[in-house]
Amino acid sequence: MSIILQSKFSVEDSVSKLWDKLDGWLDAIILKLPNIAMAILVMVLFYFIARGVRNLLRRLLLHRISQVSIQNIIAKVVFLIVILIGFFIALGVLELDKVLTSILAGAGVIGLAVGLALQGTLSNTFGGLILSFMPRLNIDDYIETEGTSGFVSEISLRNIVIRRPDNNYVIVPNSKFVEGSFVNYSVSDRSRISVTCGVGYESNLQEVEDLVVKVIAENFNQKDGEEVEFFFTEFGDSSINFMTRFWIDMVKSKQEHAARHKAVKLIKSHFDAKGINIPFPIRTLDFGKNNLNLVTQDKNEES
């Protein structure tokens, strides 16, 4: 049995074949030395190109993005893309086309699987990039969206953080924010607000209109193209109601509340000075002919 195994397997033959294989590989490496040197040179060259592109991108484009974290992420992505391009070119120089094809096919399959598994995350990421380049949305802007209003505190690749006036924070996913609508009060310096009130039916309506317009115009500066507007709106149950509209400096909601507060006080004080009545609903209970009878019982009867 041992004789048969020795005839089929020879250590000397195996070692000889191994050395022949290694010798062939060594010859191939020596022949490929120029290609290897060129591939290394390509990788080094593309490394410096990637750094130059990253720095140029930061100076020319990324300074428009207010979030430093997003600036760094975009710069790293661009850097890696340029490095990958150099890597593929180096594989071509080494004549490893089959390896390059296998890498690209594997990357495609892996990318598809990752994309399907992380749909929500990728959606938020691209939403963050879109928000970063939006010219009408910046840090500290006062916005209102989806029933939430406040100051933009942070824009990241996953969500936008809004600081409400009560100093609580609301975190909104980027995908929902981008797909929905929002109001940015900080885009324009001026906004128009309205104040409503009512006067008694006995009032002189023209006097009421002239007085309100005069008071508002004297206390709230109206610029070119702006004016104080006054409209009677309806016959109410106990008053004739009106609305006045005027322009104010406004980039956050507090300015609106302050202006309306001031206007209400001014209108009330001037109405009091002119004897103009601001009625309020009065309910009268009329029992008519019905009599209220109070029935009492003697304590002795109860016992």
Domain assignment of residue 15, yes or no: no
Do 63 and 32 reside in the same domain of the chain? yes
Do 25 and 113 reside in the same domain of the chain? yes
More confident residue, 278 or 252: 278
In the chain, helix, strand, coil percent, each to 5? 55, 15, 25
Which pTM value belongs to this model? 0.55
**CATH number, position 112:** 1.10.287
Domain assignment of residue 303, yes or no: no
Give the confidence band of 174 by pLDDT, cuts at 50, 70, 90.
confident
Predicted confidence (pLDDT) per residue in 133-172, tens digit: 555 677 788 888 877 888 888 777 677 888 988 889 988 8
What pLDDT does residue 189 have? Answer: 85
Do 228 and 252 reside in the same domain of the chain? yes
Query: Where is the domain boundary, 127, 162, 184?
Result: 184
The answer to whether 172 touches 159, Cβ cutoff 8 Å, is: yes
A 10 A CB-CB count for 218 gives: 10
Question: Looking up tokens 């020319």, which residue turns up?
Answer: 60
**CATH number, position 211:** 3.30.70.100
Can you tell me whether residue 242 is helix, strand or coil? Answer: strand
- Rounded-to-integer distance, Cα 77 and Cα 70, Å: 11
- Rounded-to-integer distance, Cα 170 and Cα 302, Å: 66
Do 180 and 194 reside in the same domain of the chain? no
The answer to whether 248 touches 191, Cβ cutoff 8 Å, is: yes
Domain assignment of residue 202, yes or no: yes
Do 229 and 147 reside in the same domain of the chain? no
Domain count, the chain: 3
Q: Which two structure tokens, joined as six digits, stand for 95?
A: 């004549």
More confident residue, 75 or 284: 75
Domain assignment of residue 239, yes or no: yes
Do 159 and 177 reside in the same domain of the chain? yes
Domain containing 213 equals 190-274
212: burial class by Cβ within 10 Å (0-12, 13-18, 19+)?
A: buried
Domain assignment of residue 6, yes or no: no
